[in-house]
């Protein structure tokens, strides 16, 4: 009988404790796939009735990714509109709130399916794609609304230096980072406009076009729209993303 020494036994246990090379390689490839392709398990293709019910819940953001010409023929009510063929399509997608479900559609489901995968890759936790697109919606005799060309005349673009100069002039500044295509942003416009008038002696209210002020957005790490920042003596003292009530904003300003 051969008796193995303690050193040999230790080596034997160590070698058998190592993971199988094939399994290790498979795990590595899987990690790379998730990193570069994104996890699409949170993307769901749904029927027109499911899509309608999701919208009715009021919990998410409706997104139309058709061309301006198509949108002009009618769209689902309260849909944010981003042209799939826009050169900056993916960068704009990245500014949609990550903590909200997104209900995306196009004409037949092709572009919206690709947009849904992009949203997932960008970190959107819950995405629903309308199977067969607006064709199915219209076939079910569901309503569409005419596109309203809403332009916020008070939205401005700012460079970093211009914004820094403004902070030196006003003690307290409330900044609303938003875009023209974002429906939640447009819903906040009347509230922000009212505060601009009612609290003009207490705070300077500024609406900044994120699409036209990317350097400033990068400096302040703006990752979704709308996002509100409050400055006091040029220092950021508060921020919040998403829809807010007038009372909540007033409370922060005071």
Low-confidence ranges of the chain (pLDDT < 50): 1-4, 6-18, 23-38
Q: CA-CA distance, 21 to 191, in Å (whole number)?
A: 60
For residue range 155-175, what is the model confidence (pLDDT) as tens digits? Answer: 999 999 999 999 999 999 999
* Confidence (pLDDT) at 92: 95
For residue range 174-196, what is the model confidence (pLDDT) as tens digits? Answer: 999 999 899 999 899 999 999 99
CATH 3.40.30.10 fits 160-253, yes or no: yes
247 closest CA partner among 177, 189, 191:
191
Dihedral (CA of 127, 133, 136, 142) sign: positive
Q: Say which residue the tokens 């921020």 belong to.
A: 239
* Confidence (pLDDT) at 21: 52
User: Dihedral (C-alpha) 115, 121, 122, 123: value to the nearest 10 degrees?
Assistant: 120
98 closest CA partner among 122, 130, 115, 114:
122
**CATH architecture, domain defined by 43-139:** 3-Layer(aba) Sandwich (3.40)
* Confidence (pLDDT) at 20: 54
For residue range 56-75, what is the model confidence (pLDDT) as tens digits? Answer: 999 999 999 999 999 999 99
- Domain locations in the chain as residue ranges: 43-139, 160-253
The residues assigned a catalytic role are 182, 185
């Amino acid at each position: 009988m051969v008796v193995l020494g303690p050193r040999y036994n230790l080596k034997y246990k160590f070698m058998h404790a190592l993971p199988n090379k094939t399994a290790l390689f498979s795990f590595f490839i899987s990690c790379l796939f998730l990193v570069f392709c994104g996890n699409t398990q949170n993307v769901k293709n749904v029927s027109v009735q499911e899509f309608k019910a999701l919208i009715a819940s009021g919990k998410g953001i409706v997104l139309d990714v058709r061309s301006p010409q198509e949108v002009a023929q009618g769209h689902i009510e309260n849909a944010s509109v981003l042209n799939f063929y826009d050169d900056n399509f993916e960068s704009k997608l990245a500014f949609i709130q990550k903590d909200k479900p997104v209900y995306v559609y196009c004409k037949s489901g092709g572009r919206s399916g690709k947009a849904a995968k992009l949203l997932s890759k960008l970190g959107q936790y819950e995405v629903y794609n309308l199977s067969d697109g607006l064709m199915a919606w219209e076939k079910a005799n569901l309503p569409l609304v005419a596109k309203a060309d809403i332009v916020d005349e008070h939205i401005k673009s700012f460079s970093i230096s211009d914004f820094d100069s403004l902070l030196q002039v006003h003690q307290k500044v409330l900044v609303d980072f938003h875009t023209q295509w974002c429906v939640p942003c447009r819903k906040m416009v009347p509230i922000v406009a009212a505060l601009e008038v009612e609290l003009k002696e207490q705070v300077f209210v500024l609406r900044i076009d994120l699409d036209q002020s990317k350097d400033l957005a990068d400096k302040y790490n703006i990752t979704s729209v709308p996002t509100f920042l409050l400055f006091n003596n040029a220092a950021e003292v508060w921020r919040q993303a998403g829809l807010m009530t007038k009372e909540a904003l007033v409370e922060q300003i005071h």
